Amino acid sequence: MRILGIDPGIARLGWGVVEPIGSRLRSVGYGCLETTPDRSDPERLNVLFTELRQIITTYTPDCVSVEQLFFYRNTTTAFRVGHARGVALLAAVQAGLPVYEYTPMQVKQAVTGYGGADKRQIQEMVRILLGLAECPRPDDAADALAAAIAHAHSASLLMQSPRGGHRA
């Protein structure tokens, strides 16, 4: 099962693909899609959509794990991140992929064992869990890999549960 993790953002959208190999996880690929503020928001969203579709085609994930939005003090930022998140959800659904959503606290808990972990702790645990030589850069890519890891851990628990799981 390949999982595409997404950390949404309009300026920087992190992505990362992981897959289980036995009881371990390995990184298949990761990166960050960047758009510049000299373009209109609709143009930036189109770039994100087009590039996400290409990533889905290239890496053929079985599902997508997306971090849910948390409260922003700046509502303009929240709306723009929400638009980018919507584009990511649309790309996944149009590709026929199930989408699973996790709060930032759930992602931190799954990766570090502590829901209040900071960025550095998350990056280091992503590095360790995926057996990488160095922490994934930029931070957005590490956050996307963390979202994928959260689903991998959740999915393995759900497969052991007699009730199974559900999509968000």
Fold of domain 3-160: Nucleotidyltransferase; domain 5 (3.30.420)
Q: What is the mean pLDDT of residues 132-140?
A: 92
Bigger pLDDT: 67 vs 71: 67
Structural domain boundaries of the chain?
3-160
Give me the active site residues, please: 7, 67, 140
Using CB atoms within 10 Å of the CB of residue 74, give its burial: 0 to 12 exposed, 13 to 18 middle, 19+ buried: exposed
Nearest to 127 by CA among 141, 117, 113, 114: 141
Averaged pLDDT for residues 136-145? 94
- 120 and 143 Cβ atoms separated by less than 8 Å: no
Mean pLDDT of the chain: 89
- Looking at residue 106, its pLDDT comes to 93
pTM: 0.90
In angstroms, the CA 142 to CA 88 distance is: 17
Q: How far apart are CA 76 and CA 65, in angstroms?
A: 24
